[in-house]
Amino acid sequence: MANSAMGKWVSRVGAAGGGKSYQKTRPTNYYALLVVIVALGLLSVVLSRYDYQHPAAATVTSGTPPAVGTTWYAGVNVEVCGVALSPLAANTSTTSGLTMKANNVLQISPLSAADSGSHATLGQFGAEYPGLILNSSELGIPTAAGTPNPATTYHNGELCPSNSKYPKQAGRVVYAYWPNLSSTKPTLTTNPSSIKLTQYLRVTLAFDPQNVTPAAPSKTTVNAMVVDQASVGTTTTTAPVTTTTTATGTTTTTAPVSTTTAPSPTTTTAKG
């Protein structure tokens, strides 16, 4: 009889959806959970739509040398059929970060993203130097005034002059570079934009027969490059502003001392 009464009570509770406390809490928790799920779903849709309409910009690595503000020097040579040409004319442009100094010394002082970091290449130098043509099939050396010169413009397959080191031999445009002063064997390429401008780089722009390895920049150029690099000064600031009051009540203010020094020029002779 007791079991029958208990069974009827359980049946009534089940039919009513639980006890009184359960009836009070279940709808609130249930609907709150539904609201959270719907809200999260809507948020994910909104974020996905935003990401789709506003793709992230490509990450740019900052500080890749040479950065704006850097001053490096490199050495250049121009060789045609085994003969070194006269140095390129000095370029004092204030709008270019890649300029020529005396003795075929290339100054690398980037002014913007266009000629800094990974964009600081021999190809970019060719684009910034007036009248200079550098590509895989043509080498054009301009006049001193910065205008193209047909007499010193060379194309793949042309024959070397009869008065050159390799008379009547077919030439081709090639660029040889030595990444630093300790490099003894050059790397050859036909793509000037693949040559990254570095401190103490030596590079030769050449039109030579296929089996000829261009010569490195002259010792005069290398020595001038090293001296120019050594002349880049460093600024140091000593003690900061200080104020001292003596026993007599006199106040003395000492300003900071700033000095600029330049390393002593060093003459270095490059190998090979």
* pLDDT (tens digit per residue) in 218-243: 999 999 999 999 998 543 333 444 44
* pLDDT (tens digit per residue) in 245-266: 444 454 444 444 434 444 444 4
pLDDT band at 206 (very low <50, low <70, confident <90, very high): very high
* pLDDT (tens digit per residue) in 106-151: 999 999 999 999 999 999 999 999 999 999 999 999 999 999 999 9
The confidence score (pLDDT) of residue 59 equals 36
pLDDT at 45 over 60: yes
pLDDT at 61 over 70: no
**Among 236, 239, 233, which Cα is nearest to 255's?**
239
Measured over the CA atoms of residue 63, residue 67, residue 71 and residue 77, the dihedral's sign is positive
pLDDT band at 25 (very low <50, low <70, confident <90, very high): low
Structure tokens, 7: 């069974």
The confidence score (pLDDT) of residue 54 equals 52
Find the angle CA(75)-CA(124)-CA(175) to the nearest 5 degrees: 50
Q: Which residue has the higher pLDDT, 267 or 171?
A: 171
The confidence score (pLDDT) of residue 182 equals 94
- Residue labelled with tokens 């008379």: 167
The confidence score (pLDDT) of residue 212 equals 97
204 Cβ partners below 8 Å, 6+ apart? 76, 77, 78, 79, 175, 176, 177, 186, 214, 215, 216, 217
The confidence score (pLDDT) of residue 38 equals 78
Gap between the Cα atoms of 80 and 205, Å rounded:
8
pLDDT at 198 over 60: yes
Mean pLDDT of the chain: 80
Spell out the domain ranges in the chain.
Answer: 7-53, 72-230
The confidence score (pLDDT) of residue 4 equals 60
The confidence score (pLDDT) of residue 23 equals 52
Structure tokens, 212: 């000829």
pLDDT band at 98 (very low <50, low <70, confident <90, very high): very high
- Residue labelled with tokens 């990974």: 118
pLDDT at 211 over 80: yes
DSSP β-bridge partners for residue 265: none
The confidence score (pLDDT) of residue 93 equals 79
The confidence score (pLDDT) of residue 34 equals 76
Do 149 and 142 contact (CB within 8 A), yes or no?
yes
